[in-house]
Every structure is written in structure tokens, then in C-alpha cells.
Amino acid sequence: MTAPTKELRSSRTDGHEPAVRLDAVSKVYGRDLLALDRVTLTAGRGEFVCLLGASGCGKSTLLNLVAGLDHATAGEIDTKGGRIAMMFQEPALFPWLTVSANIELALRVTGKGKSTTKKERRARAAELLEIVHLGGFGAKRPHELSGGMRQRVALARALAQEADVLLMDEPFGALDAMTRDLLHDELERIWRERELTVLFVTHNVREAVRLGDRVVLLSSRPGTVIQEFPITLDRPRRTDSGEVAGLAATITDRLRQEVLRHAKPARRPVATGARGDG
């Protein structure tokens, strides 16, 4: 294992109560596949933290551990009793249910609709669809919507859980650039209004700079925090702005260094006694 990493915080976290705290968290699959190695990380309430790293570095594993979908092999995870919601790259909507029914189901499963009537749940689903700018689409089936619209429904379903912490695993990775840009705006607006804490996994460096208060870079497997980049650019930001592009280039260079370090083949020892060995 590598040496423990220093806990990293952004200026926004300082002086704010933590919403998520990971302390020396490791995850081993099977007997010897080390996915995460003593990750220490704190996200403050209302902070937007983006996680970057090469494929297979453990970003999704980290989210699964925070969500309680898996258990850490070592270390501690504290979400301060907050409600957690998770959003994946695929919307994972039930195709036989209407858009409204998909959201109403989330209300029932989380208990938020337990003591309410079906009429009240439907009204709440309609409110959430308005929030994600899909008012009037409640009676549609998922197959009748575009990819971006389905992701809006998935976001509304996550919001239905009244989460304090929103975990997002490459939620816009399969969308075209224009749709992704529009959803960036919607997500930022909702994040501000709801004062959510967001942990956002992405492979898109510009997306991370566009959205995050802080970008956290993970090493290649085993994943551990190797550097953070506080993002102090004024909001709103544009993905194609010079400032975003410049900072994204700096982070990309650091990520490239890490990927090349991991990909560099080990030097083979020279066999003794071979021809030409003096």
C-alpha cells in the first residue's frame, strides 16, 4: 500500500460543517485487488466536489461506499446522518411506468410519501418535474423522451428523496455537448437552491472545472487522493471559456502525468550469464 494521503479541503469546506467524511478508507475486492487505498476526504455542506482520475481508479467504488451500496474494507465513512441519493450515467427508469410514476415510486420507497395520498404524491412529482423543466411530461413513458429528458427525470427522482448529499456517477457522459451544457445549468441552479452537497464523478476535465468548487484527483489503481484543485472562478461559468479551458489544461497535464506513471512498464532485470554479459 502507498503511504496515507493528507486530508484535503477547499476554502469552502473550511468553517463549514462536513457533510461527508472519509477517513483512511480502503477497499479490497477478493483476496488482493486493492481498489482504494486509505482515501481521506471531506466535503462540506453545500460543497460541489468533482472526482477525476483514470478509468479503474476507484471513483465509482468511492461513490458506492458513500451510498452504502458496498462496504469499506478498512477506514471510516461518516455522512452525518444525511439522506443520500445517487444518480448514474444511465437513467435506469422503469420503462413500464410513466415519468410521474417513476418519481412517485421514489417518494414511496424513501418514506416521504408514506403518510400521503396518491394525489399528493402525484402533485409532488409534478412539482419536481417543473423544477427540472419537464412540466407536462408526467404522463409520458421513458421511451418517448430524449436521452437528456430521461436524465432530467432521473434527477427529479433523486430530488424526490429529499437528499442532503447527491452522488452523481458520470450522469451526463452519454449526452451530446449541447444537452450536457444545458443540464450543467440546471444542475447548478438546483444545487444552489437546495444547498446540496454534491460528489460528482466525471472523466471530462472541463466539466469538472465548470461545475466544481473543488476538483479532487485520484491516482491510478489503487485509487488515493494525490492532489486537489480549488476552483475559484466566478460563477456562472462556461465550459468553452478561456479561464475554464486554462485551468482544465493544468489539471489535464497532472492527470496525464499520473496515467503515464502508472502505464510505464517495469524494467526487466538482465539475466546473468547471458551472451554478451562480459
Q: Which of these ranges, 24-28, 88-92, 138-142, 259-263, has the smallest mean pLDDT?
A: 259-263
Question: Which pLDDT score is estimated for 113?
Answer: 43
The verdict on 3 and 108 lying in the same domain is: no
- Please give the single-letter amino acid code of residue 115: S
Domain membership of residue 274 (yes or no) is no
CATH of the domain at 221: 3.40.50.300
Residue 171 backbone dihedrals phi, psi, to 5 degrees: -65, -20
The verdict on 168 and 150 lying in the same domain is: no
Of 162, 196, 220, the residue that ends a domain is 162
pLDDT digits (tens, 9 = 90+) for 144-163: 999 999 999 999 999 998 88
Question: Could you tell me the maximum CA-CA distance found in the chain, to the nearest angstrom?
Answer: 88
Please give the sequence-ordered ranges of beta strands (E in DSSP) within 139-275, or none if there are none. Answer: 165-169, 197-201, 214-218, 225-230
Domain membership of residue 277 (yes or no) is no
The verdict on 259 and 168 lying in the same domain is: yes
Binned at pLDDT 50, 70 and 90, residue 264 comes out as low
The verdict on 40 and 154 lying in the same domain is: no
C-alpha distances out from residue 218 to 40, 65, 82, 223, Å: 11, 16, 25, 6
Of 113, 146, 162, the residue that ends a domain is 162
Q: At what angle do helices 177-194 and 147-159 cross, to 10 degrees?
A: 10
Binned at pLDDT 50, 70 and 90, residue 15 comes out as low
* Stretch 9-18: mean pLDDT: 55
The verdict on 132 and 257 lying in the same domain is: no
User: How many beta carbons lie within 10 A of that of residue 271, not counting itself?
Assistant: 8
The verdict on 51 and 180 lying in the same domain is: yes
C-alpha distances out from residue 151 to 49, 86, 93, 196, Å: 20, 12, 9, 18
> Is the CB of residue 49 less than 8 Å from the CB of residue 199?
yes
Question: Which pLDDT score is estimated for 4?
Answer: 37
The verdict on 42 and 130 lying in the same domain is: no
Q: Which domain holds residue 13?
A: 1-82+164-264
Domain membership of residue 259 (yes or no) is yes
Count up the domains in the chain and report the number.
2
pLDDT digits (tens, 9 = 90+) for 225-262: 999 999 999 999 999 999 999 999 999 999 998 888 76
The verdict on 130 and 257 lying in the same domain is: no
The verdict on 222 and 249 lying in the same domain is: yes
The verdict on 177 and 77 lying in the same domain is: yes
Of 162, 177, 194, the residue that ends a domain is 162
Domain membership of residue 228 (yes or no) is yes
The verdict on 168 and 256 lying in the same domain is: yes
pLDDT at 173 over 90: no
The verdict on 101 and 231 lying in the same domain is: no
Domain membership of residue 273 (yes or no) is no
Domain membership of residue 275 (yes or no) is no
Name the nearest CA neighbour of 168 among 80, 94, 110, 89.
Answer: 89
Q: At what angle do helices 147-159 and 118-131 cross, to 10 degrees?
A: 120
